[in-house]
Chain A
């Protein structure tokens, strides 16, 4: 298995532009998580899905952020409009819902908003 695949690896965009981050979870995993990592806040859980359904989006910072999971093999995190304070590394992770499994993380997308 290729693991959790995120794209792009790096994204530089201007303030006000729309940004879309993409994630392909591990085949067979039924849960997907979006995290944000910054120096100031560490790792923050933004939202997670079970069987493509959003379960908890309480970590989404504001309405500018939205996430979708149209099928079991694809998820997006969108920021519209982007702001400089959104600059961070965004990680996607997947896992099996049942049992005591941990998460498998992707390599992340480093977002810079200028």
Chain B
């Protein structure tokens, strides 16, 4: 069965500092990996995905994520955080050949001015 772990309920970072939101996954086969962001009272918005190829994936709003197969991780990163990045971030995995997208529990990112 597929599963995703986001070990941090909340990440606090000062504006201008780099940020990392952690994600590890478990699948039987090969994964497709996704990050979504949710702003208050809104639906989930797609940020980026890993399918195959380059382990460093670049996405919207300056975010990037690094796929590490040996550590089964897909951490979300941004070199310089903005206050407007404050939101709820979800990591998700979909096993190749299967349709279900399984989400982690979410990590709240709080960027202080």
Contacts and interface: CB of A to CB of B under 8 A. Distances in A.
Interface of A: 4, 31, 33, 42-43, 45, 48, 50, 55-56, 91, 93, 97, 100, 102-108, 110
Size category of the B interface is 20 to 34
A33 B103 CA distance: 13
A27 to B, nearest CB: 18
Contact of A56 (B36, B45, B94, B100): B100
A31 B99 contact: yes
Contacts, number: 49
The 5 closest A-B pairs by CB, nearest first: A105-B43, A105-B44, A100-B51, A43-B103, A42-B105
Nearest to A108: B43
Interface of B: 32, 34, 36, 41-46, 49, 51, 90, 92, 94, 96, 99-106
Nearest to B6: A42
Contacts of A93: 44
Contact of A50 (B49, B99, B102): B99
B100 A91 contact: no
11 contacts: A42-B103, A42-B106, A43-B90, A48-B99, A48-B100, A102-B36, A102-B92, A105-B44, A106-B43, A108-B42, A108-B43
